A and B are shown apart, each in its own frame.
Chain A
Amino acid sequence: MRTDRGYHCRITNIVTLTEQEKLFQLRIIDSVERSIFRFRPGQFLMLQVPGYGEVPISISGSTSNSEMIEFCVRRAGHVTSALFQAKEGAKVSVRGPFGSSFPMEEMKEHNVILVAGGLGIAPLRAPLLWINEHRDNYGDVHLLYGAKEPSQMLFTYQFEEWRKINHIDLHTIVELPEPGWTGKTGMITELFNDISIAPANTYAIVCGPPVMFKFVCNHLDRQGIPMNRMFVSLERRMHCGMGKCCRCMVGSTFTCVDGPVFDYWSVLNLKEAI
């Protein structure tokens, strides 16, 4: 783990996902550092663009591929705008990994529901790829994914692979349909009508805008999924990642050290969490 001095990385590939989001693939330059770098699904890195600053970004890639660190980044501030100007081959740096992770081992032998809203698919892609790589260890896997508009939907080019090769039960919905959209329209909670779950044997992972958490988690709660089996990834602005700057504090909890992954029971006990 690197807390002050980052791992120096080259951008090896940039995939344009939408007008506002790109997938950056990074490779740690030093081969020794590359061989020891590890992370768990749900953790984040502080992505540094020297001269501009650093931002906390969830890792969207596979934990098994140390050759490539993947970030799905939305252009939202001056650091991410600078990153969007970068070309393949550019050098950036990452500190971390920081924070808690989704309990993938604990979820083994269970069904898993992943609920993503908008950019929330970015942190959920890491556990999804984990499940894909260890597919036999998990029961039924549902991915419910909602976006504002069809053109804002991310990773659509991987949907078929997830569905057909990895047997993920994938459902999508948009709030505002565009011409050519033949799928469902409405709020993400409507997708729960399309799946049947066995609450006693199911884990849930939820990530999306703050307004989505309560609706989705309340629904899952009513379905009978225990609160300690529902996991959410919270968003905050971290400046240090180490529980020192206090920018990500929620109540008495540091989102960067104790989170960003929390079980829903813990979140309910955190004032201002969502």
Chain B
Amino acid sequence: MNLTGENLLRELAPQVLGAVIRRFGDFSAAEDAVQEALLAAAMQWPEEGVPDNPRGWLIHVAARRMTDHIRAELARRRRETIVMMQAPPDQQVSPAPDSGVATDQDDTLILLFMCCHPALTRPSAIALTLRAAGGLTTAEIGNAFLVPEATMAQRISRAKQRIKSSGVPFRMPSDRERAERLSAVLHVLYLIFNEGYASSIGPNLQRSDLANEAIRLTRAVHNLLPDEGEVAGLLALMLLTDARRAARTDPDGALIPLDQQDRTLWDRNAISEGIELISATLSKGSIGAYQLQAAIAAVHDEAARAEDTDWPQILALYGLLKRMSDNPMVALNHAIAAAMVHGPPAGLELLKALDTDGRLAGHYRLDAVRAHLLEMAGDREAAIAHYRGAAQETKSIPERDYLMTKAARLAASPP
């Protein structure tokens, strides 16, 4: 094990939790017990050294906490019979949690399937995934989402109750359900990454801890399911996007758009890994939306200068993506690519369809993109008006500052 203590604990957390749930069947209590065991390890291991079998140590401690918890419960409801097992009877016979059956790896996956269950709201799924599979503390998750710790604790505890009452067994989804459940997991991981990469609220543009956690978890899923194209696609997309992190903001925290970033600051290792991953995946056949987005990110990252960007290829990829998903944001980016290849009027023409679409009504991105294309077309006054409109619509302070500055600079430039 050449992992540092913290990484080792994060790696083991979902496996240990899986083993404890398998034995006791109570997701909610097991999760608390495992958190306590992780805390004990974090306190003791640096002092006394990592035990020979760290996973076994954690399971042992967590199981002891579970037993204590059950005893306390029994004492509290002396005359009641407790049905400890939430699992159906056919699953009550389970291997001893530390018998070393080859399920450790599966446990991480099953846990993710459980945390991202469709019965949960998205904020709940995100919080639960970070806490149970990511091993973040409630305080850390609360911080990341700028809500008080007590609120986050409540959100997590309600999510656990929800899983308990829905009676989802702790096992792999059936083949019939699997594709849908996997796409739910990928969506939650994508949202966590996005939240970390382009925080949509508050003054912080980047909360990199969340982006790192999303990459770590996606990497784990990719290692477990190496043949799933969309998993590889999502991991590549995250790596290729996150590679630009250092160039996205200036020292004051102001936003720097892609075409003005200092590309020497991009993380070459992340780019190579992402490109390698997406190239290998695209050659395998069935192509999904994450893979296409990763391919687009790769084209951007491959250009040494903004003017070297292969826009015809990006336009073609957005064309494919647009046919695959009915997402207005995709249509918006498609319009930008069209403007870069065929000139701004072509892009502005495509934006007209979005005006009637309704889903982007009042969304700042539509105004911001229109302003950008009008500026390209040389229509200064209209561009200024739309930049100002977008500045009033955005809910992000860095975005607002950027858009207002853009309008002011344009107004100051000679016509």
Chains A and B come from one and the same complex = no
Q: Using a CB–CB distance below 8 Å, which chain B residues touch chain A?
A: none
Q: Using a CB–CB distance below 8 Å, which chain A residues touch chain B?
A: none
